[in-house]
Amino acid sequence: MTKNPIRLPPLQKLRVRNPNKREPNPCLTIMSSVLACWASAGHTGRACNTVEDALRACMDAPKPPPKPSNTINYHLQRLSSKLIKQASKNK
């Protein structure tokens, strides 16, 4: 007894939603701390020096190398013409 393969319904679009997620800036939280300190103590006060130094160190640190982007949508687009041709032949 042979089993028929399971057939998937036809897809209108072959696309994955936004596979490339941006990573948040690591200095953003320190910058908001500096702005909050300036708002409470004034921008000329010495109370914010440690937070300002932490922000300078964060901004001067080398950036990590960028991650390679995900190419799944490119490959789906490239293969879609072959999949559509095969689907039209099977009808």
Q: Flag whether the pTM goes above 0.95.
A: no
Q: What is the pLDDT of residue 14?
A: 64
Q: What is the pLDDT of residue 91?
A: 58
pLDDT at 54 over 70: yes
Q: What is the pLDDT of residue 13?
A: 66
Six-digit token string for 81: 């013409």
Q: Write the pLDDT tens digit of every residue in 2-52.
A: 677 777 666 666 666 666 677 788 899 999 999 999 998 887 778 889 999
Using a 10 angstrom Cβ sphere, with 0-12 exposed, 13-18 middle and 19 or more buried, the burial of residue 5 is exposed
Q: What is the pLDDT of residue 43?
A: 76
